[in-house]
Copies of this chain bind each other. A is one copy, B any other.
């Protein structure tokens, strides 16, 4: 099988050993002579998967006591609604930082639930930077932000300071580096970047921050429902959660998020250095806000497009096309992408120059 260099923005590259184990479990799981797909989610074997997937999140991210781990379906898009439903008080207000498409969608969903104030917004510059100065209103219940903006290639380099509750959509950079979970009341993340395949969404929630809205929340949208049932209120997305578990095992064995952070830094440095050095390319995002996960760039001269596209396709590179909102190119260099693949892209960029 030809080795591909997979720069897809998500669903994205996963570790080869994870894919191998996942494929095997489809045929014969745990030596049961049954597929993982055809056993009860209440069976001993699957309950162990769910418990391990949840405890590995705590271990790998060093989650403090008082936090609960829940896996649901629906992606971050349902998380936009669930976060507002569970944290925006009746008659209260949510404060949002708008740094791109996903933040805008989070704002739109919260507006259906209650009062929303957008306290900072980089839309006027097509979201190519992270706003640094903002004021969280005194009457806000929480501050919501998107830690990494997949489409625009920007990333918060520090956690916003606030004395309000703090909620973060961390879909596209969770598990890429250490984070201080104790600063958050809710972290949610669609799995299909560093964690696993599409179909499951992770919630890390401070339990004492729940139940304060004065709102009757439908069962499936109520994080307390899922916590009370150990993330098994109803049939969970069995296979995606299993792959999450495998990916977290891989990450732990590799050295955890500290080690991963070093590897990701090295990959990002290699690629951004070439973008800055090579006169044929220019970066999209403000330099100080550049994402370590999604590297957005353009050709300086668009007449090179056909040749560049041919070169990277010939090098077995996949998924480099930029999002339509930005154009150009986007190299998503998530955890599972090896630095060797980044070197292949950098070599292609040098080749274009020659």
Q: Which residues of A contact B (CB under 8 A)?
A: 1-4, 6, 8-14, 19-20, 22-24, 26-28, 32-35, 37-41, 72-78, 80-81, 105, 108-109, 112-113, 190, 192, 196-200, 216, 218-221, 233-240, 243, 316, 318-319
> Please, which residues of chain B bring their CB within 8 A of the CB of A219?
77, 81, 105, 108-109
Residue from B8, B19, B33, B73 within 8 A of A199 (CB atoms): B73
Task: Output the nearest chain B residue to A243 by Cβ-Cβ distance.
Answer: B37
Q: Once bound together, how far apart are the Cα atoms of A236 and B72, in whole Å?
A: 13
Q: Once bound together, how far apart are the Cα atoms of A74 and B6, in whole Å?
A: 29
A294 to chain B, nearest CB (A): 13
> Please, which residues of chain B bring their CB within 8 A of the CB of A73?
72-75, 78, 199, 237
A199 to chain B, nearest CB (A): 3
A337 to chain B, nearest CB (A): 10
> Please, which residues of chain B bring their CB within 8 A of the CB of A26?
19, 22-23, 26
Q: Once bound together, how far apart are the Cα atoms of A34 and B7, in whole Å?
A: 11
* CB <8 Å contact, B11 and A74: no
* CB <8 Å contact, A23 and B34: no
A236 to chain B, nearest CB (A): 7
Q: Which 9 A-B pairs have the closest CB atoms?
A: A73-B73, A199-B237, A23-B26, A77-B234, A37-B197, A198-B238, A2-B33, A198-B235, A78-B220
* CB <8 Å contact, A8 and B240: no
Known: A4-B34, A19-B27, A199-B199. 16 other contacts (CB 8 A): A2-B33, A6-B34, A19-B26, A19-B37, A23-B26, A41-B198, A73-B73, A73-B237, A74-B220, A81-B220, A108-B219, A192-B238, A197-B238, A197-B239, A198-B239, A199-B238
Select the residue from A10, A33, A109 with max chain B CB neighbours within 10 A.
Answer: A33
A-B contact pairs, 30 of them (CB 8 A): A1-B28, A4-B32, A4-B33, A8-B40, A12-B38, A14-B35, A14-B37, A22-B37, A23-B23, A23-B27, A33-B316, A39-B318, A40-B319, A73-B73, A73-B74, A75-B235, A76-B234, A77-B220, A77-B234, A109-B219, A192-B235, A192-B238, A198-B236, A198-B238, A199-B199, A199-B239, A199-B240, A237-B237, A237-B240, A240-B240
Q: Once bound together, how far apart are the Cα atoms of A213 and B74, in whole Å?
A: 23
> Please, which residues of chain B bring their CB within 8 A of the CB of A41?
11, 198
A269 to chain B, nearest CB (A): 24
Q: Once bound together, how far apart are the Cα atoms of A61 and B225, in whole Å?
A: 35
A320 to chain B, nearest CB (A): 11
> Please, which residues of chain B bring their CB within 8 A of the CB of A198?
37, 41, 235-239
Q: Once bound together, how far apart are the Cα atoms of A190 and B73, in whole Å?
A: 12
Select the residue from A22, A233, A236 with max chain B CB neighbours within 10 A.
Answer: A22
> Please, which residues of chain B bring their CB within 8 A of the CB of A108?
219
Residue from B6, B33, B218, B319 within 8 A of A109 (CB atoms): B218
Q: Once bound together, how far apart are the Cα atoms of A62 and B3, in whole Å?
A: 42
A157 to chain B, nearest CB (A): 26
Q: Once bound together, how far apart are the Cα atoms of A235 and B238, in whole Å?
A: 17
> Please, which residues of chain B bring their CB within 8 A of the CB of A190?
235
> Please, which residues of chain B bring their CB within 8 A of the CB of A233?
77
